[in-house]
Chain A
Amino acid sequence: MESLDQLLIQASARIDEADDLEILASLESELVGKKSFIASTRRGLGRLPSEERPIVGAQVHEVQTRLQQLIDDRRAVLQREAEDRLLEQDRVDVTIEGYEPPVGMHHLLTQTVDEVVDIFTSLGYRVASGPEVELGWYNFDALNTPPTHPSRLESDTLYVEYGDSSDEMLLRTHTSPMQARYMEKHDPPVYVVVPGRTFRADALDATHSPVFFQIEGLAVDEDITFGDLKGTLAHFAREFFGSERKIRLLPHFFPFTEPSAEMHVSCFACDGSGCRVCSGSGWIELMGCGMVDPNVLEAVGYDPQRLSGFAFGMGAERIAMVRHGVNHIKHFYENDLRVLRQFS
């Protein structure tokens, strides 16, 4: 039927021209609705001779299907365009600050301590913490410190008024008392790190504070050697300061280790050629360490003939200051938000 073909051509042009959804809806009703030419043609099919009926019927169906398809396609286009217009109206500047959930920060000291502790737990070390108010026995005697050692003087150590006056009660001057406490409670082998607060009778200056953080390490086992101490500290230095770092140990003295050493790490800022960070030497002093003195093992009932061990102790402020270029220890205890927020 020619009129159907005609309709299809004319209608498709009109569908294309429909530029909003309402026009398209009325066009749909006009073209394929109940009162449309298509509908009336379909209704008139019965009046056609029976041999024409299927042919015309098929034609009507095809035209209707195609018209409906054109309308649906057009509707989809118009809907998308309408949504795009709406979205364009919704546009906001997402580069400006909107709605920010509050974020706190971990203190630089805790971050440092946690990082160091994690390096050692991955080497199979347990983590212990101990009392900050401590008996003189654990702080000094159990650590082979003679009764006349100057570190026991009130000019160095803060004593507190608690308990029986026969017990020397003090604020621990290092985390090392936990060496003795830990070994008293645990059988060897011992691999442990002890982070915690320590105290000295120091006035606050750029590098001293009456309160500071120390991280102590202790390994006691059969055949632990000086080489193991070097290797362990070298591993720590590379994990904490970067894989290129080297360490050196220089002889030193501590009552609770023998041999004793001071551990230096090659400067991460200049790679050892000398700069401001390392005061030109290429090395940065990091911590004290050594092989556990047999007297310390004996004091806790370990057999120094069978067991040996090493110990080390570092200041958390010191390593944080070195690593981040913090120039005064007061920054750790002032809790200035402008400082804290820089270490996320």
Chain B
Amino acid sequence: MKISLRWLEEYVDVPTSDPIEVEAVFASLGHEVEGYEVLEVPFSKVVVGRVIEIEKHADADRLRFCRVDLGEDELQEIVCGAWNFEVGDVVPVSVPGAVLAGGLEVGVRAIRGVTSHGMICSAAELGLGEDQAGIMVLDPSTPIGSDFADQVPLPDVVFDVSITPNRPDAMSVVGLAREFAAYYQTEVRMPEAEPATVDRPSAVGVTIEDVIGCPRYVGREVDGVRIGPSPLWMQQRLRASDVRPINNVVDITNYVLLELGQPLHGFDLDKVADEKIIVRRARAGETLTTLDGVERDLDVLDLMICDGESIVAFAGIMGGEQSEVTDATSRVLIEAAHFHPPSVMFSSKRHALRTEASARFERGVDPNLCALAAARAAHLMVELAGGEAFADVKDVYPSIIAPWQVDLEVEEIERILGIPFAAETVAELLVRLGMKVEGSSPLRVTVPTNRPDLTRSVDLIEEVARLYGYDRFPETLRTGPSGGLSNAQKRDRRIREIMVGLGLHEAQTMSFLGQSELDAMNLPDHDPRRAAIRVRKPLREEEAFLRSTLLPNLLKAVQYNVSHGMPDVGLFEVGKAFLAEPDSEDPRIPHQPTHLAFAMVGRSGPGGLHASLRPTDAYTATGVVRALLEALGLRAEIRQVASDGFHPGRSAEVYMGEQLIGVAGELHPAVGRAFGLEGRAPLPSSIWRVWWQTATGGNSRHPAHIRGWSSTWRSSSTSRPRRKVSFDRHRVLQGIGSKKSSCLMSSAEVLWVKARRAWHCV
């Protein structure tokens, strides 16, 4: 909320006017300042004058020639184009040498042959509002000849303070004044709320049909108001808080909302049928046209304010058009009520209607503030709108919400905060925050009803810490008994290290997929990846699903780089995929396996002058897979399989035993085209389920002892027994090794392939 420092200072002494110091006080109390604006008087040399004579300009129909009393011996002669003032009105006059808002310099000017010594000013010209049609007509009691700047509550500083949701009490100027008073150990000056009253009985009747939704309703009648603009100072304060001034009565209700934090509504009492107020839930099929001109279909859970005939307002959120205060209003009914926070919150969300009032009610306004706020508004209507306030206040409050008690053990404070506090210190801190404290062990603390956030002893400990100052606690360090990564985390780190070592770059892509990306993967309808989990209300089409595979987003990242002039790309990602099947550990949630995926395009291999960059293809994919397996010490078999979404003749499946752990090969060219990589195939890619455990801790390897043997190389040829059996380096090694018992077979290399039938190994 935006708050003017001058306004705050009306209720509490702030010993500094340095915005940085004030900001620091706000911050140390837990009210973060998002920013502040220093407001200066936007004009100079503007004097208060009275219009003595008005003549028509001889040569221009639209201009008037005025003589204005500025408190000097001679009258000032000024030509003016505005028509909204009469002889006798008090107006702001800029004299020659004045500078107006926006930098306009005022001088002596000839206008159509008549000399004008200055200007009579509009609010817009003075930087005090948007109204530029007419000049500002001031309060007739304003001293003639005085500096108009004295009438403007400037300079000022406006702070934009972010109030946390647990502190509805701080969403007002007085509420923040209480915080400052606690900080500076001083008192709050409450605004005057004792209007002069008339003793006639008020005919207004108030009935609450739903006491859960509305525990209290105060209706207060003020008759004989004269609708007009509110005073300049009030308009300035409303504007500083981003509230547009409308008329004195409406401005007063808004002003008191900002001042005390109690949302008010002003009804034109003559338009309230039977002068009756009924608070009830809406009935099916009812509608209400709110002040913003929107007709709203109501829900049976929406809480309504009704008169003798129909609905007149949306409780706690917004008034209706029909009973709104207009220029013709003379009798006002001030509503100051307490509404159940969840009720206001749900209605406000359901109708997407958020107002200053609903923002406060949904967090919880002090139920015992209603009468005071109504009195304050009545007081201002008497003073500023010439009204007559009724002493007969309709206050329906069936079960009073009283302050509550919380017990606080002083030792508990040390256990949580780390330093000992004396009972007297704690009591003093809590009293400064408006609480009553009795006893010593435990302290019996009475919490005022404006602090719904304080119900447990730990809430009070927080208040002690906050006011004592977080800065004053020492820094101590505790360490845990033993730390470290889990085996799965070590495995994932290792995989990333190896992939980086193999020359691929790590990517982080979004966890979402769109329908078009899923379709683009060329998967058959029965593929489980097609049954991706849907996001209920995605913000964008490409966030409609949770990724069931990491490849599509990786391909998009590849395409991004290619389209930005980088033809050789190798990216990998280790992350979670989401499958629509129950998780094995917690069957309530879906299975979220960690996957590894990589995608490459262009060329790969060593770079530089004598580089051997070669076009990537299926062998690049299987090569990376083999290197990764080797580095991880994993024994897996690569089988030639036409895998879905991949090139039918250039893809493989990776098996550990009979467990399929991944796919590698060239993507199907159609997939490449779908991702904007046409003409750039092959796209060697791979997807892996990362689930195995790498060797750690008790998982020992039993290495063969290498004595003084020398290694020898031997070539051998072997033929594929059946077409379906894949080449398996380990099997070949075992075959050779079994013939020489004293031999440790360590590595094999394919020298050449003959008619895809035989492998030759050394």
* Chain A positions near chain B (C-beta within 8 angstroms): 96-107, 109-110, 114, 117, 120-129, 131-135, 148-150, 153-154, 158-163, 167, 169, 171, 189, 191, 197, 199, 201-203, 210-211, 219, 221, 223-228, 230-232, 234-235, 248-253, 258-262, 291, 293-294, 308, 332-338, 340-341
- Contact segment of B288-296, B308-316, B410-418, B736-744: B410-418
In the complex, the answer to whether B478 meets A219 with C-beta atoms within 8 Å is yes
Encoded as 1 (CB less than 8 Å from any A CB) or 0, chain B from 532 to 546 comes to 011111111001001
User: Of residues 19 to 71 in B, which have CB atoms within 8 Å of A's CB atoms?
Assistant: 27-30, 32
In the complex, the answer to whether A253 meets B167 with C-beta atoms within 8 Å is yes
Which DSSP category, helix, strand, loop or mixed, fits chain A's interface?
mixed
In the complex, the answer to whether B480 meets A191 with C-beta atoms within 8 Å is yes
Do A340 and B483 contact each other (CB < 8 Å), given the known contacts A106-B500, A199-B511, A248-B470? no
In the complex, the answer to whether B590 meets A99 with C-beta atoms within 8 Å is no
Do A191 and B456 contact each other (CB < 8 Å), given the known contacts A133-B546, A161-B534, A334-B560? no
Sample 13 A-B pairs with CB under 8 A, ordered by A number: A97-B607, A102-B503, A104-B504, A104-B505, A124-B480, A129-B489, A158-B537, A163-B590, A203-B539, A225-B418, A234-B475, A335-B571, A336-B564
Measured between alpha carbons, how far is A340 from B165 in the docked complex, in Å? 39
Q: Does B328 contact A (CB under 8 A)?
A: no
Do A261 and B583 contact each other (CB < 8 Å), given the known contacts A210-B539, A219-B480? no
Q: Does B570 contact A (CB under 8 A)?
A: yes
Residue on B nearest A181 in the bound complex, by CB: B586
Given A106-B500, A251-B470, 18 other A-B contacts at CB below 8 A? Answer: A97-B608, A98-B610, A100-B607, A102-B570, A104-B572, A123-B479, A127-B483, A160-B534, A191-B479, A191-B480, A197-B576, A225-B418, A231-B474, A231-B477, A258-B459, A259-B461, A294-B456, A333-B509
In the complex, the answer to whether B610 meets A99 with C-beta atoms within 8 Å is yes
Encoded as 1 (CB less than 8 Å from any A CB) or 0, chain B from 315 to 356 comes to 000000000000000000000000001100110010000000
Encoded as 1 (CB less than 8 Å from any A CB) or 0, chain B from 487 to 506 comes to 01100010010011111111
Q: Does B688 contact A (CB under 8 A)?
A: no
* Chain B positions near chain A (C-beta within 8 angstroms): 27-30, 32, 164-167, 341-342, 345-346, 349, 362, 415-419, 456, 458-459, 461-462, 465-466, 470-471, 473-486, 488-489, 493, 496, 499-512, 533-540, 543, 546, 557, 560-561, 564, 566, 569-572, 575-576, 578, 580, 583, 586, 588-590, 592, 604-612
Do A109 and B505 contact each other (CB < 8 Å), given the known contacts A125-B483, A260-B462? no
In the complex, the answer to whether B505 meets A337 with C-beta atoms within 8 Å is yes
Measured between alpha carbons, how far is A96 from B28 in the docked complex, in Å? 59
Which residues from chain A contact B604 at a C-beta distance below 8 Å?
102
In the complex, the answer to whether A150 meets B32 with C-beta atoms within 8 Å is no
| Cβ-neighbour of B474 out of A135, A160, A230 (below 8 A) | A230
In the complex, the answer to whether A126 meets B475 with C-beta atoms within 8 Å is no
In the complex, the answer to whether B345 meets A150 with C-beta atoms within 8 Å is yes
Residue on B nearest A310 in the bound complex, by CB: B478
| Cβ-neighbour of B508 out of A103, A110, A171, A262 (below 8 A) | A110
A172 to chain B, nearest CB (A): 10
Which residues from chain A contact B576 at a C-beta distance below 8 Å?
132, 197
Measured between alpha carbons, how far is A308 from B508 in the docked complex, in Å? 36
Do A124 and B481 contact each other (CB < 8 Å), given the known contacts A160-B535, A225-B415, A249-B470? yes
- The 8 A-B pairs at the shortest CB distance, nearest first, are namely A102-B503, A191-B480, A251-B30, A225-B418, A124-B480, A227-B418, A253-B164, A259-B462
Which residues from chain A contact B612 at a C-beta distance below 8 Å?
99
Measured between alpha carbons, how far is A150 from B496 in the docked complex, in Å? 38
Measured between alpha carbons, how far is A99 from B512 in the docked complex, in Å? 39
